[in-house]
Amino acid sequence: MRISELSEQTGVSIATLKFYLREGLLHSGEATSATRARYDATHVARVRLVRALIDGGGLSIAKARAVVDALEHPPESRHDLLGVAHRVIPYAGQDHEVSGEVRALIEALGWQVEPDAPALRMLSAAVDTARAAGLPVREEALAAYARGCLAVAEVDVSAAVGTRSPEEALATVVLGTLLIDPVLVALRRAAQEHLSGARARASRT
């Protein structure tokens, strides 16, 4: 198909498609003349992915390019794809050291996570911030939260494993991580309302 058809099929303007081509976010089409190229289904899939990463996931052009690079040079296993995904996803608190408490928690849980993983830095920073604001965060509470999050992550990992292509797997992990966070925040609040109401009703009877 020509670039105009690629634009029609994806709903992305020709100017934006040319921008994607220049920025290395979209692979070149097959040249049919000095000024024309032919595009195929791989281009449609790529444009949709880039669109989802940038518009849906809020990634920068550079981060989206890192995802695309990982697809061009795919790592050996899907687990390594997750590593790529985690490197491009923004993490708060990346300058924070992993605390002794967090290391002990991960060990007690029996989780195998890189000792200086971004997730553990973010976790240490978030716990420190909560405590500094006067919120007591007990060790047992953290462990219980971790068990709830493990159940959530089971769903995430199953979704990524069930995908048909590396392209789909990577999109699922990156978008699933970024876009499901607000879903979980909302579900947590709904569950709080349900549980708190149930306790209030029980105490009245």
Residues 55-74 that bind a second copy (CB under 8 A): 55-57
- Of the ranges 2-10, 21-29, 33-41, 91-99, which one interacts with a second copy (CB under 8 A)? 91-99
Q: Given the complex with a second copy, which of 52 and 66 has the nearer CB atom?
A: 52
Euclidean distance between CA atoms 159 and 181, whole angstroms: 15
**Type and span of the H or E element at 123:** helix 118-132
Q: Within a 13 Å sphere around the CA of 188, how many CA atoms are in the beta-carbon half?
A: 10
Choices 15-23, 31-39, 60-68, 88-96; region in contact with a second copy by CB under 8 A: 88-96
Q: Are 135 and 102 in contact (CB under 8 A)?
A: no
Please list every residue from 111 through 140 that binds a second copy, using CB under 8 A.
111-114, 117-120, 122-123, 125-127, 129-130, 132-138
User: Which C-beta is closer to a second copy: that of 17 or that of 123?
Assistant: 123
Q: Which stretch binds a second copy (CB under 8 A): 5-13, 16-24, 26-34, 151-159?
A: 151-159
Pairing of strands 30-31, 37-38: antiparallel
Contact 13, 55 (CB under 8 A): no
Of 14, 31, 92, 104, which one interacts with a second copy (CB under 8 A)? 92
Binding to a second copy (CB under 8 A) within 7-46 occurs at: none
Closest alpha carbon to 17 in 31, 27, 7, 30: 7
Question: Using CB under 8 A, which of 60, 108, 144, 165 touches a second copy?
Answer: 144
Closest CA to 66 of 96, 25, 98, 103: 25
CB-nearer residue toward a second copy: 31 or 153: 153
Phi, psi of 31 (to 5 degrees): -65, 130
Nearer to a second copy by C-beta: 37 or 137? 137
